[in-house]
């Protein structure tokens, strides 16, 4: 819609989540299921964070990054699930414009930070297995702090700039978001103003925060697997692989579902599939992280 047209329209001040509203008979079951998931996720991740902080034996780079990841997962799931639980319980699926933008900011920044942290963790495992003699020198305390602080700071600042642009979009038409949280793509579809700049900025930020960490992770594990296969003893190979297998599982689940959701064609027939797959990286990954890393 052209600028001169939307100026005469009523500006949208709130949005309605469609979520899983087409399954009213399962509302109580979904509420109980997501409530248990939320409690288990927060409890598991907070226990890992507390354990890493309090136990002196766990003050190593691997557990330092794991503590950061667990803290992030607690914030990540708390950005989405409480609002979803409230909607399922009360039936109120409305969210204000400012509330939607705030949720989008926290979701986007935590998503970016997690990609960076997973990349840092894969690099840590690469140094531990492929460069064991130089590990303590290369992955020292200062470098770990730089990697973690850089991940948090860059994710928060970049998303803040993006959300600042998003907040200036005009919404004057339909206000129904076909999702269970304020996801970017369904939100952009509702805007009446020109979204070219937003889409371009989103592409650039997605490229910067997902591709380099993914390539770093992929390259690290190629080198790790090559090194492990060269170990002569079976016991040695199993011991080396056990130190990185948990991280590899988490990375596979996270990036796998994330890529499928954003690569799948945006058709109405695939909306349900997109929602289900979105649950994998917004709900399932934070839930299974403590279980996988504990094992």
Pick the residue with more confidence: 69 or 236? Answer: 69
* Contact of 86 with 92, CB cutoff 8 Å: yes
The pLDDT-based confidence of 5 (bands split at 50, 70, 90) is very low
Q: Compute the average pLDDT of residues 210-232.
A: 86
Asked if pLDDT for residue 10 goes beyond 70, the answer is no
Q: Compute the average pLDDT of residues 116-143.
A: 89
Asked if pLDDT for residue 1 goes beyond 50, the answer is no
The confidence score (pLDDT) of residue 43 equals: 93
Q: What is the pTM of this model?
A: 0.86
The confidence score (pLDDT) of residue 274 equals: 72
The confidence score (pLDDT) of residue 78 equals: 92
The confidence score (pLDDT) of residue 3 equals: 46
Pick the residue with more confidence: 104 or 229? Answer: 104
The confidence score (pLDDT) of residue 36 equals: 94
Q: What is the three-class DSSP state of 227?
A: helix
Asked if pLDDT for residue 103 goes beyond 80, the answer is yes
Asked if pLDDT for residue 80 goes beyond 80, the answer is yes
Percent of the chain with pLDDT over 90: 27
Percent of the chain with pLDDT over 70: 91
Asked if pLDDT for residue 6 goes beyond 60, the answer is no
CA-CA-CA-CA torsion sign (132, 136, 140, 144): positive
Helices (H), 27-140: 27-54, 61-90, 97-130, 135-138
Q: Compute the average pLDDT of residues 20-41.
A: 84
Pairing of the two strands 176-177 and 14-17: parallel
Pick the residue with more confidence: 293 or 77? Answer: 77
Asked if pLDDT for residue 148 goes beyond 70, the answer is yes
Q: Compute the average pLDDT of residues 228-252.
A: 76
Q: How far apart are CA 11 and CA 180, in angstroms?
A: 22
Q: How far apart are CA 252 and CA 242, in angstroms?
A: 16
Asked if pLDDT for residue 268 goes beyond 70, the answer is no
The pLDDT-based confidence of 267 (bands split at 50, 70, 90) is low
Asked if pLDDT for residue 225 goes beyond 50, the answer is yes
Q: How far apart are CA 253 and CA 250, in angstroms?
A: 5
The pLDDT-based confidence of 159 (bands split at 50, 70, 90) is very high
Q: Compute the average pLDDT of residues 230-242.
A: 76
Mean pLDDT of the chain: 83
Three-state secondary structure of 49-75: HHHHHHCHHHCCHHHHHHHHHHHHHHH
The confidence score (pLDDT) of residue 7 equals: 45
């Amino acid at each position: 819609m052209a600028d001169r047209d939307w100026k005469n329209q009523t500006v949208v001040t709130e949005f309605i989540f469609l979520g899983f509203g087409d399954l009213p008979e399962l509302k109580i079951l979904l509420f109980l299921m997501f409530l248990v998931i939320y409690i288990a996720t927060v409890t598991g991740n907070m226990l890992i964070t507390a354990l890493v902080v309090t136990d002196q034996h766990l003050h190593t780079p691997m557990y330092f990054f794991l503590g950061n990841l667990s803290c992030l997962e607690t914030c990540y799931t708390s950005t989405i699930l409480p609002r979803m639980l409230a909607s399922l319980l009360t039936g109120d699926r409305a969210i204000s414009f400012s509330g939607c933008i705030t949720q989008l900011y926290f979701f986007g920044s935590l998503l970016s930070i997690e990609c960076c942290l997973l990349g840092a963790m894969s690099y840590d495992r690469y140094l531990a297995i492929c460069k064991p003699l130089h590990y303590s020198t290369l992955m020292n305390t200062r470098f770990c702090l730089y990697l973690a602080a850089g991940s948090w700071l860059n994710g928060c600042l970049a998303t803040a700039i993006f959300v600042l642009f998003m907040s200036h979009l005009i919404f004057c038409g339909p206000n129904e978001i076909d999702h269970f949280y304020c996801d970017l793509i369904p939100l952009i579809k509702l805007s009446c103003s020109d979204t070219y700049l937003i889409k371009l900025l989103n592409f650039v930020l997605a490229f910067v925060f997902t591709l380099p960490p993914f390539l770093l992770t992929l390259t690290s594990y190629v080198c790790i697997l090559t090194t492990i296969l060269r170990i002569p003893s079976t016991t040695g190979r199993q011991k080396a692989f056990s130190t990185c297998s948990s991280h590899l599982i988490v990375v596979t689940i996270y990036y796998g579902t994330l890529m499928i959701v954003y690569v799948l064609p945006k058709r109405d027939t695939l909306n349900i599939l997109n929602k289900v797959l979105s649950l994998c990286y917004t709900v399932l990954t934070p839930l299974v992280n403590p279980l996988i890393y504990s094992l």
